[in-house]
């Protein structure tokens, strides 16, 4: 099913979640995290919280006005980590609470920087990690994206 057919289906996880929540108020609910500088124009949540887990959407190297911070990999990656940290903080979590990350690179040669970035932003035990090289990201000029699953403090 696609589009509204899926959204209206009783097999949709949100529908089941809503039904279960109505029967048992103590059961976990889903809530969205929207930092003050976030723009709603793309119609997604920077993160959602379910129970004690935080699911963070892909963060990229843009500043608060949405502009790409550089045409180079490292400044973009560093800013993406800063943005990730901000969203996690808004959700009551932190970089130290990350369980899994997904890293997306446009140029495989930039992978050489990944171990140093992991060492700078993560602590032991390091999160599980899937790194993928992609042809492009959602916006022109983006070179790096990171998404994450974390637990709340």
Residues 18 and 89 in one domain: no
Residues 2 and 69 in one domain: no
Sign of CA dihedral 105, 60, 30, 122: positive
Residues 81 and 16 in one domain: no
In the chain, the N- to C-terminal Cα span, in Å, equals 37
Residues 52 and 18 in one domain: no
Using CA atoms, how far residue 149 sits from 12, 135, 142, in Å, is 21, 24, 22
Q: How far apart are CA 44 and CA 62, in angstroms?
A: 17
* Stated length of the chain: 153
Residues 74 and 143 in one domain: yes
For residue 98, which phi and psi values (nearest 5 degrees)? -70, 135
Which CATH number characterizes residue 121's domain? 3.30.1330.40
Q: What is the pLDDT of residues 112-144, one digit of tens each?
A: 999 999 999 999 999 999 999 999 999 999 999
**Domain total for the chain?**
2
How does DSSP classify residue 5? H
How does DSSP classify residue 11? T
pTM, two decimals, is 0.79
71 closest CA partner among 6, 146, 143: 143
Residues 19 and 75 in one domain: no
Residues 9 and 69 in one domain: no
Q: Which domain holds residue 15?
A: 1-27
Q: What is the pLDDT of residues 52-76, one digit of tens each?
A: 999 999 999 999 888 999 999 999 9
Residues 22 and 42 in one domain: no
Residues 83 and 107 in one domain: yes
Residues 8 and 64 in one domain: no
């Amino acid at each position: 099913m696609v589009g509204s057919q899926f959204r209206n289906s009783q097999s949709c996880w949100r529908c089941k979640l809503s039904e279960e929540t109505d029967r048992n108020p103590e059961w976990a609910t889903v809530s969205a995290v929207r930092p003050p500088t976030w723009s709603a124009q793309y119609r997604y949540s920077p993160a959602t919280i379910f129970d004690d887990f935080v699911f963070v959407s892909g963060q990229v190297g843009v500043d608060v006005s949405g502009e790409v911070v550089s045409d180079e990999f490292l400044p973009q990656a560093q800013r993406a980590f800063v943005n990730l940290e901000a969203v996690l903080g808004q959700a009551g979590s932190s970089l130290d609470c990350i369980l899994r990350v997904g890293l997306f690179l446009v140029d495989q040669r930039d992978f050489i920087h990944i171990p140093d970035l992991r060492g700078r932003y993560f602590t032991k035990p390091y999160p599980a990690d899937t790194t993928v090289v992609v042809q492009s990201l959602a916006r022109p000029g983006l070179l790096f994206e990171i998404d994450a699953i974390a637990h709340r403090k």
